[in-house]
Amino acid sequence: KAGVTQTPRYLIKTRGQQVTLSCSPISGHRSVSWYQQTPGQGLQFLFEYFSETQRNKGNFPGRFSGRQFSNSRSEMNVSTLELGDSALYLCASSARSSSGNTIYFGEGSWLTVV
Partner 1 sequence: AQSVTQLDSHVSVSEGTPVLLRCNYSSSYSPSLFWYVQHPNKGLQLLLKYTSAATLVKGINGFEAEFKKSETSFHLTKPSAHMSDAAEYFCVVSATGNQFYFGTGTSLTVIP
Residue 25 as a binder of partner 1 (CB under 8 A): the answer is: no
- Left (φ > 0), alpha (ψ -120 to 50) or beta: where does 16 sit? left
Q: Rule CB under 8 A: is residue 108 a binding residue for partner 1?
A: yes
Residue 45 binds to partner 1 (criterion: CB under 8 A) = yes
**Sequence-ordered list of residues with C-beta below 8 angstroms from that of 26, at least 6 positions apart, any chain:** 1, 2, 3, 4, 93, 95, 104
Q: Computed from CA positions of residues 37, 34, 63, 57, in that sequence, does the dihedral angle turn out positive or negative? A: negative
Q: Is 11 in the site for partner 1 (CB under 8 A)?
A: no
Q: Does 94 bind partner 1 (CB under 8 A)?
A: yes
Nearest to partner 1 of 79, 107 (CB atom): 107
CB of 33 to partner 1, least distance (A): 8
50 binds partner 1 (CB under 8 A): yes
The region of 16-24, 49-57, 59-67, 73-81 touching partner 1 under the rule CB under 8 A is 49-57
Query: Which residues make beta-bridge pairs with 57?
Result: 47
- Report the C-alpha gap between 60 and 86 in whole angstroms: 14
Interface ranges with partner 1 (CB under 8 A) = 4, 31, 33, 42-43, 45, 48, 50, 55-56, 90, 92, 94, 96, 99-108, 110
